[in-house]
Amino acid sequence: MNREGRLSGADVGAAAIGWAVRAWRSTRADRAAPRKEQPKVSQQHAVIEVELPSGDTVSVIRRRFCGGPGPRVAVVAGIRGDAPEGIRVAHELVTFLNAAEPRLRGTVDIYPCANPLAAHRGVPRWPFFDSDLNRLFPGDDGGHPPERVAYALTQDVLGADQVVEVRGARAAFSEVPQAHVRPGEAVATERAMAMNVAVVWQRTPGPAAPSTFAHQFDGAIVLEGGTGNRLTPGVGKDLTDGILNMLATMGVLAEADLPFHWASLQRPVRVTDEHVARVRSNRGGLFLPAGATWKKVSAGEELGRVVDPTSGEVREVVESPSAGRLLAIRELPVVFPGTVVARVVNL
Amino acid sequence: MTVVFSLEAPYRRAYELHRLTFGSGGPVVAIVAGLHGNELNSMHAVNLLASALQVQRPQGTVHLFPLVNTFGGDEGVKRWPFDDRDLNRAFPGDPAGTSVERIAAAVLAHSEADVCVDVHSGAPHVRELPQVRAPMSGRELELARAMGLPVVWRRTGERLDATGLVGAWRQAGRHALHVVGGRGITLDTEHSGTLARGLNRLLSSLGLTPPIGPGETVADVTRGEIETHRAPCGGFFVPEVRVGARVKPGHLLGYMQIPIGGDRIGEVRAASSGVVMTVRAWPMVHAAELLVRVAATG
């Protein structure tokens, strides 16, 4: 027994257990083996395979597209299981890169879903442990499964020249496509400006940032947009095109290979924290929004109202603190006092 | 009982933070339970203490918060149900912030005291022998030992994270302790009683209440003195001991079996003499998950 916490082989009769476990796993593997040989997916790699108590396993997969020499770009999706937009973008990229791989000048690693069990259920956290994977980085090689996943993912992505995390929107919100970078990261900001989003937000990291995936990598870009736990028409294509365009600006992809003309892309607005206002409700009830994302608003304009859930009586009219556009609007109506109901970007 | 904070809620009456205060003057002790809505032992222990204090009339002030997360308690869940946030990760809170931040700020503001205790049950998948977790030395360790709980666990960097209540109290310069007993989502009256007596001993050591009988601390340990057994693989763990059991080297603590078919794939045995302080209660385990902790007793 290792008194620091690891069960050594001697304590449990390692040889016997090892034999029994191998026999058990191989029995399961035999049963699961396909009758026909499956086509080989050469660039598919399991970053980590997590054993489940039932004997099943679940893997975090990396798809690597490797052309000639050049930069390595990592695109990670599905760190939370309720962000299917990011997973869709990852699969759109895989489809495109499957055809474009021979012409790549560099390497693109796509991690379509870092939290497969949560995605299976459409919930944000890793099930059973109920752990928010995006609060466990850089992870722990000797910890629980989600901690080991965080560790393995971090180690696998390390060394990439550009890291992009693709999310959807926060669970209760609709958000315009936007890129988040850290203040002072000029290269990341310029790349984000090429990513076909409405806004590039140079956002100061909050208290929880050190435990997030993106914070582990200098210059990481976080893409958000759409509606929480939903696919939103157009958003997936916008973000996919944005990533492809960024690959072109880095020279990984030839401009001629882009499936669109660069002139068709959006020109983002670059903002800092001081341009973005969080608008909160002061009352509890149902928040009924008055406008959709990216709507122009003037100072004092109604963003929505909080009504009594039973009588329908208006408890509060929520107003925009400044002129600008709606960066995000709450679409799940139940609110408490202090709940964020909108973000307004002051242009 | 006083409502020290309230928050308008949709579809139901306002959330209310209740505080019971016994006695007056100093010293002042604050005891908080039920930050997590599914930790029933912590709530019951504080309510048992409240019953005792109605008779004892403390020479000083004792503030009790038996159930902070009433909405989580109503639904049998750990977190604040509205946005599924952990109240014990929302400190020091913000009076103008989100609902959990407002509640956290209110708990911190209304628990101002010389000595503060945050009482919890164990996680739902493990059962813990009642224990107090304290720093490696100093006044808080003295206070922890005065509780006479079965286990005193001295931990480096214990609860310095200011997003938790104990860390926030310490950041505010207060002496703070973290107490755990039993298992989440389960009421264990014996463990609750042990926790309540430990809290009463703490008050007694501070001169607030009359002396009561000594406790029985069976292990006063650091991490290096705790034998931790983890699962060598995923499977179904069947415990053969209960928390509080005394074991010797070679004692069978439990065994792992295959969940489908039940073939035994290994045994877990104690390597040293000690007392069992943690036992896995939910048998489906992943590789490397905690099965049993044994606190060495020499």
CA separation for the pair A329, B218 (Å, rounded)? 56
pLDDT over 50 at A12, yes or no? no
Q: What is the CATH number of the domain that holds A61?
A: 3.40.630.10
Compare CB distances from B8 to A3, A143, A283 and report the shortest one's residue.
A283
Min distance A304 CA to chain B CA atoms (Å): 16
CA separation for the pair B225, B153 (Å, rounded)? 10
For residues A140 and A58, state if they share a domain: yes
pLDDT over 50 at A79, yes or no? yes
Q: Is A310 on the interface with B (CB under 8 A)?
A: yes
pLDDT (0 to 100) of residue A228: 87
pLDDT (0 to 100) of residue A13: 40
CA separation for the pair B266, B273 (Å, rounded)? 21
Q: Which residue has the tokens 């020279």?
A: A251
Q: Which of A232, A267, A302 is the last residue of a domain?
A: A267
For residues A127 and A187, state if they share a domain: yes
pLDDT (0 to 100) of residue B161: 74
pLDDT (0 to 100) of residue A31: 46
pLDDT over 90 at A33, yes or no? no
Is A54 in Cβ contact with B260 (below 8 Å)? yes
Q: Give ipTM to 2 decimals.
A: 0.82
CA separation for the pair B97, A236 (Å, rounded)? 32
Q: How confident is the model at residue A21 (pLDDT cuts 50, 70, 90)?
A: low
- pLDDT tens digits for A180-206? 999 999 999 999 999 999 999 999 998
CA separation for the pair B199, B205 (Å, rounded)? 10
CA separation for the pair A313, A330 (Å, rounded)? 20
CA separation for the pair A35, A23 (Å, rounded)? 20
Domain that holds residue A227: 44-267
Which amino acid is located at A289 in the chain? P
For residues A69 and A176, state if they share a domain: yes
Q: Is A28 on the interface with B (CB under 8 A)?
A: no
- pLDDT tens digits for A297-316? 999 999 999 999 999 999 99
Residues of chain B with confidence (pLDDT) below 70: 158-160, 298
pLDDT over 80 at A32, yes or no? no
For residues A254 and A338, state if they share a domain: no
Which residues in chain A belong to E strands, given as ranges? 44-51, 57-66, 68-77, 105-111, 162-166, 173-181, 199-202, 221-227, 269-272, 276-280, 285-289, 296-297, 302-307, 314-319, 324-330, 334-335, 340-345
For residues A308 and A179, state if they share a domain: no
pLDDT over 80 at A225, yes or no? yes
Is B225 in Cβ contact with A3 (below 8 Å)? yes
Query: Both tokens of residue B144?
Result: 């922890």
Residue bearing the bigger pLDDT, A75 or A208: A75
Is A50 in Cβ contact with B286 (below 8 Å)? yes
Residues with Cβ within 8 Å of residue A347, at least 6 apart in sequence = A269, A271, A275, A323, A324, A325
- DSSP assignment string, A290-318: SS-TT-EE-TT-EEEEEE-TTT--EEEEE
pLDDT (0 to 100) of residue A170: 87
A151-154: long-range contacts at Cβ-Cβ below 8 A with a sequence spacing of 24 or more? Answer: A152/A47, A152/A48, A152/A60, A153/A47, A153/A48, A153/A60, A153/A76, A153/A111, A153/A114, A153/A213, A154/A213, A154/A216
CA separation for the pair B66, A222 (Å, rounded)? 42
**Helix residue ranges per DSSP H, chain B:** 40-56, 70-75, 99-110, 139-146, 165-171, 189-205
pLDDT (0 to 100) of residue B156: 85
- pLDDT tens digits for A175-187? 999 999 999 999 9
Residues in A touching B235 (Cβ below 8 Å): 53, 55
Name all domains of chain B by residue range, CATH numbers in brackets: 2-217 (3.40.630.10), 223-296 (2.40.50.100)
pLDDT (0 to 100) of residue A29: 47
Q: What is the CATH number of the domain that holds A329?
A: 2.40.50.100
Residues in A touching B78 (Cβ below 8 Å): 130
Taking each continuous run of H as one helix and of E as one strand, the counts in chain A are 7, 17
Compare CB distances from A53 to B8, B234, B264 and report the shortest one's residue.
B234
For residues A104 and A194, state if they share a domain: yes
For residues A262 and A284, state if they share a domain: no
pLDDT (0 to 100) of residue B158: 59
Query: Both tokens of residue B50?
Result: 């409240």
Average pLDDT over residues A69-73: 97
pLDDT over 70 at A8, yes or no? no
Residue bearing the bigger pLDDT, B162 or A152: A152
Average pLDDT over residues A270-274: 97
Q: How many domains does chain A have?
A: 3
Q: How confident is the model at residue A38 (pLDDT cuts 50, 70, 90)?
A: very low
Helix axes B189-205, B40-56, angle to 10 degrees: 50
Q: Which of A267, A302, A330 is the last residue of a domain?
A: A267
Closest CA in chain B for residue A142: B288
- Residue B71's alpha-carbon distances to A49, A211, A243, A283, B79, in angstroms, are 38, 28, 43, 18, 9
Is A339 in Cβ contact with B98 (below 8 Å)? yes
Q: Which of A242, A267, A292 is the last residue of a domain?
A: A267
Is B229 in Cβ contact with A1 (below 8 Å)? yes
Compare CB distances from A51 to B230, B268, B287 and report the shortest one's residue.
B287
For residues A180 and A304, state if they share a domain: no
pLDDT (0 to 100) of residue A10: 36
pLDDT (0 to 100) of residue A206: 87
Compare CB distances from B288 to A4, A144, A339 and report the shortest one's residue.
A144
Closest CA in chain A for residue B272: A1
For residues A328 and A204, state if they share a domain: no
For residues A104 and A170, state if they share a domain: yes
Closest CA in chain B for residue A148: B288
Q: Which residue has the tokens 């696919």?
A: A231
Buried b / exposed e across A110-144, counting CB within 10 Å, b at 16+? bbbbbbbbbbeeebbbbebbbbbbbebbbbeeebb
Is A336 in Cβ contact with B7 (below 8 Å)? yes
CA separation for the pair B237, A9 (Å, rounded)? 17
Closest CA in chain B for residue A13: B266
For residues A205 and A91, state if they share a domain: yes
For residues A66 and A160, state if they share a domain: yes
- Residue B40's alpha-carbon distances to A185, B44, B67, B186, in angstroms, are 48, 6, 9, 6
